[in-house]
Amino acid sequence: MSDQNATDDGRPGGSLAHRVPDLGALELLLAVARLGSLGAAAREVGITQPAASSRIRSMERQLGVALVDRSPRGSRLTDAGALVTDWARRVVEAAAAFDAGARALRDRRDSRLRVAASMTIAEYLLPGWLLALHAARPDTAVSLLAGNSAKVAELLLAGEADLGFVEGLTVPAGLDSAVIAHDRLIVVTAPGHPWARRRRPVTTQELAATPLILRERGSGTRQVLDTALGGLARPLIELSSTTAVKASAVSGAGPSVLSELAVGEELAMRRLVGIPVEGLSLHRDLRAVWPTGHRPTGPARELLSLTRG
Amino acid sequence: MSDQNATDDGRPGGSLAHRVPDLGALELLLAVARLGSLGAAAREVGITQPAASSRIRSMERQLGVALVDRSPRGSRLTDAGALVTDWARRVVEAAAAFDAGARALRDRRDSRLRVAASMTIAEYLLPGWLLALHAARPDTAVSLLAGNSAKVAELLLAGEADLGFVEGLTVPAGLDSAVIAHDRLIVVTAPGHPWARRRRPVTTQELAATPLILRERGSGTRQVLDTALGGLARPLIELSSTTAVKASAVSGAGPSVLSELAVGEELAMRRLVGIPVEGLSLHRDLRAVWPTGHRPTGPARELLSLTRG
DNA sequence: TCAGGGCATAAGCTGGTCTTATGAGCGACC
DNA sequence: GGTCGCTCATAAGACCAGCTTATGCCCTGA
């Protein structure tokens, strides 16, 4: 049980969970950074001071880095501690988004705002919106149902959802809509791919002629791409989830075309590289939708206003 | 100990750590999603099948949502499970970045590549680069030292670092450099601010006339802004860390000007809104630097090539 | 019909994290 | 100068989550 298990996505052995402090410890660290005292941080997260002291200490031992300078009149972060705290904040924020999403997924019934959203939006945008809504109206219980555009329309028309979100080129019949954001499809490759190194943009013709890793025909993403290329997209592999497509692209199987929402993280981490394409606008609107005539009111209106730039 | 502690950044009470499964559970869920079987996932993360079964079950109980469909010939994610898994992936990725950073911070000496970086780069970009480097060259031990531009230059010239990264308008004397990326400063406000609602862009004059939440004079960010405005930036508050500035802006204290690197997450979560500004280019280069004449070789060259688009 | 892979359950162990109780350093204030 | 109030550290014991091993049932394919 040393580190004989290297996962196939290239991470080091020994499982992250054994090398990264747990969420409670990271939250405690953030509280210490903000409040300048172990005891005050302990009170905030609802534990005793000795527990906080011990937890911070074991986190320092685990990371092998001194994080806080203790003194009889308080504790301040070391330089390394400040850096670690910033990294920790990202983990905690991702966890908060997870929590907001999971909460909405759980509270299926009896919630004041029932949202139906397409997968891409539910995956990448909704948790953030829910966090913002929660910050503005802490007592609004939200429930979430995810599906494709047709399913969203069905739920709205059956009165089983109050507000919907869809991406795509058309608005389902019977629904009014408002554009809330724009999404762009991006051509991406692994950093090792020849396209990642060339200087001039790829041409539309080249893109149409190159086999690509794609979602299945009929998916929103594929639809936009096919339309933009004139139905010519040539699949290298067809996969049924955005995640699978990304994984395949990251592993270097070939170029892919994905929503900028989906690849933001990968681009930042340089697991994927965006390839400029000449003269091609792979653009789609993200829309909020509701039954014709029933303008959103109350919490639905609140959420809607949060989503508009 | 119910939920009488609402933290001042608006998160719900009861501590995330009690509502979000720990990293080990999330990793396990990702493995189940990828491998399609609890047993196989258990083997991958190095535990027994009953442990995996129990852990997934307790995660489902905790979240109140069924995540996997078990069958005598394997397990598949439910629809909700797929969504949860995608959210979980973000948490795990943030944790992986944390780990990569912490690792580099620990291995001060005896590492094959010693990197010195300015705070902004160390905070936002370096963990991703380190992950990419680790994927490409798993056995390269990297150490990290963070400081301002002068400190980076000093470390490089003293031979205590092999490669540096700085942001700012000038390159320290004695160093060669290559531009690896561009950073833009963005004017941001909380979503409730009047600027977030207006249609026409803010003018340079308006910006110069408005008190802003800013880093202290002398910081890289402030330097670029002052230069762009002609030394006119008017501070509403001056704070000494990017984090503090962000927190203040999010809480609605006023408009701020921050690196797009720093506010990416906040923009996505809609805790902040980007405000277009007319006729102002708040642009700065991010550079890799090394002692004049000593072109990076070996691991340093490898890392450098990963950072260039 | 039997082997094998899948999952679930039960019993027992271990380790990490909490608590309470206490001590010790430093500063402010009467 | 004592005393209060804040800080953090240490020690001893309770508790619980998660692990392991052992076992059984279900389904499929040879």
Answer for A47: CB within 7 Å of strand C: yes
Q: Crossing angle of helices B23-35/B49-63, nearest 10°?
A: 110
Of B114 and B6, the one with more pLDDT? B114
With a CB cutoff of 8 Å and minimum separation 6, the contacts of A146 are A116, A117, A118, A119, A122, B79, B80, B83
Find the farthest-apart pair of alpha carbons in chain A and give their distance in angstroms, rounded. Answer: 71
User: In Å, what is the separation between the CA of A36 and the C1' of C10?
Assistant: 48
Q: Which of residues 25-44 of B touch strand C (CB under 7 A)?
A: 37-40
The CATH number corresponding to B181-285 among 3.40.630.30, 3.60.40.10, 3.20.20.100, 3.40.190.290 equals 3.40.190.290
**Pairing mode, strands A113-118 and A273-275:** unpaired
Flag if A64 and B106 touch (Cβ within 8 Å).
yes
Q: Is residue B58 helix, strand or coil?
A: helix
Assess whether pLDDT exceeds 50 at residue B11.
no
Flag if B98 and A92 touch (Cβ within 8 Å).
no
pLDDT confidence of residue B224 = 85
Angle at A190 between CA A184 and CA A192, to 5 degrees: 140
Of B141 and A223, the one with more pLDDT? B141
Is B145 buried (19+), middle (13-18) or exposed (0-12) by CB count in 10 A? Answer: buried
Mutation target for A interface from B5, B8, B11, B308: give the one with most A CBs within 10 A. B11
Nearest-CA residue relative to C1' of C27 = A73
Q: pLDDT digit string (tens) for A206-258?
A: 999 999 999 877 677 888 888 888 877 888 988 877 888 898 898 889 999 99
**Pairing mode, strands A74-77 and A142-147:** unpaired
User: In Å, what is the separation between the CA of B3 and the C1' of C18?
Assistant: 19
Assess whether pLDDT exceeds 80 at residue B105.
yes
Mutation target for B interface from A2, A87, A180, A307: give the one with most B CBs within 10 A. A87
Q: What is the mean pLDDT of chain B?
A: 87
Q: pLDDT digit string (tens) for B18-76?
A: 999 999 999 999 999 999 999 999 999 999 999 999 999 999 999 999 999 999 988 99
C-alpha dihedral sign at B246, B263, A83, B11: positive
Give the integer Cα–Cα distance in Å for A25 and A43: 14
CATH of domain A16-94: 1.10.10.10
Contact B12, B3 (CB under 8 A): yes
Contact of A69 with chain B, judged by CB distance below 8 Å, is answered with: no
Flag if B102 and A306 touch (Cβ within 8 Å).
no
Which positions of chain A have pLDDT values less than 70? 1-14, 108-109, 218, 269, 309
Which residues put CB within 7 Å of chain D, the nucleic strand? A 37-40, 49-50, 53-54, 56-57, 70-75; B 22, 24-25, 46-48, 50-51, 54-55, 58, 72-73
CB atoms within 10 A of CB B190: 22
Nearest-CA residue relative to C1' of D7 = A72
Contact of A275 with chain B, judged by CB distance below 8 Å, is answered with: no
Residue ranges per structural domain of chain A? 16-94, 181-285
Contact of B35 with chain A, judged by CB distance below 8 Å, is answered with: no
- Measured CA to C1', the nucleotide nearest B72 is C6
For residue A93, report the phi and psi dihedrals to the nearest 5 degrees: -65, -40
Q: A98 to chain B nearest CA, in Å? A: 5
Contact of B109 with chain A, judged by CB distance below 8 Å, is answered with: no
Q: A48 to chain B nearest CA, in Å? A: 12
Q: Which of residues 57-86 of A touch strand C (CB under 7 A)?
A: 58, 72-73
User: In Å, what is the separation between the CA of A32 and the C1' of C29?
Assistant: 28
- Measured CA to C1', the nucleotide nearest A50 is D9
Assess whether pLDDT exceeds 50 at residue B159.
yes
pLDDT confidence of residue A215 = 86
pLDDT confidence of residue B14 = 67
Contact of B198 with chain A, judged by CB distance below 8 Å, is answered with: no
The radius of gyration of chain B's CA atoms, rounded to the nearest angstrom, is: 23
Give the integer Cα–Cα distance in Å for B102 and B94: 12
Mean pLDDT across B245-264: 89
Is this prediction's pTM over 0.85?
Answer: yes
Mutation target for B interface from A4, A20, A43: give the one with most B CBs within 10 A. A20
Assess whether pLDDT exceeds 60 at residue B4.
no
pLDDT confidence of residue A7 = 36
Residues linked to residue A215 through DSSP beta bridges, in sequence order: A239
Identify the CA nearest to B71 among candidates B46, B42, B39: B39
